[in-house]
Structure 1
Amino acid sequence: MIRFHLKCDQNHEFESWFQSGDAFDKLVAAGMVSCTLCGSTQISKSIMAPAVSTSSEITAPKPAEKAIAELRDKVEANSDYVGNGFAKEARDMHEGTVPERPIYGEANLKEAKKLVDDGIPVVPLPFMPRKKAN
């Protein structure tokens, strides 16, 4: 997983996690990355500077569990949970039969592979959803 500092065409800045740089490029090209403030899909990477400690005491990085919990909170706050219907919903959005929106849910390996093979950008999340579909 890699975290990018992002900016939309309205100059809103935000951060998001991606499986890789290539995954980011594919998701942006498909219009699947949107600004957390205005919803714009015109997204680019911002200049990223490494964190530099100015004190003599170096702080340990956050444990992976905390970063994953923060990612889960962000995904759940900004996306619709579609449960086991994830593959169908992602395909319907890709084909334009339903409006595009950020979603997350569950798919088995065969369904996920078929989406990728068909050029539908999806990214596995490093957590199991807490929410249940309505």
Structure 2
Amino acid sequence: MIRYALSCEAGHAFESWFPSSESYDDQLARGLVACPVCASPKVAKQLMAPALGRRGNRGGLPAPAEAPPAAPAPEPVRLMSEPERQLRAMIRELHEHVARTSDHVGDRFAEEARKMHYGEAEQRAIHGEASLAEARALLEEGIAVQPLPSLPDERN
């Protein structure tokens, strides 16, 4: 495993582990690596010293006589502000409410919404998945739809 020091375009610094450097490159290219603070996918490696284990002096540089003094503990990093935590809690609560009070129709959402709109099916609360094109078509037909906001941590 390789630990990389990373930062996003906004300057947020964070670390992440990868099975190999090729895995990091692949995940970055596919947009799977994102800043945990702002969710920006524009991430770059930062300069860092390698962590090497010591097993005595094997013809390399001599081992230091004593360990360097310990650095002071870094300030704790706040990844989310309190208003952002509250907003995320409200969005989670909204998702839970929708799941409890409506029928999940999966990828048949557009089809079911049309059936109800044109009187071919009983009116009821539903939720599911629809592409952007399907949602636009429903709106153009006068069928009210509303996307649910997602949380960044649900996409990772």
Provide the TM-score with structure 2 as the length reference. Answer: 0.42
RCO higher in structure (CA 8 A, sep ≥6):
1
Higher Cα radius of gyration: 2
Provide the TM-score with structure 1 as the length reference. Answer: 0.49
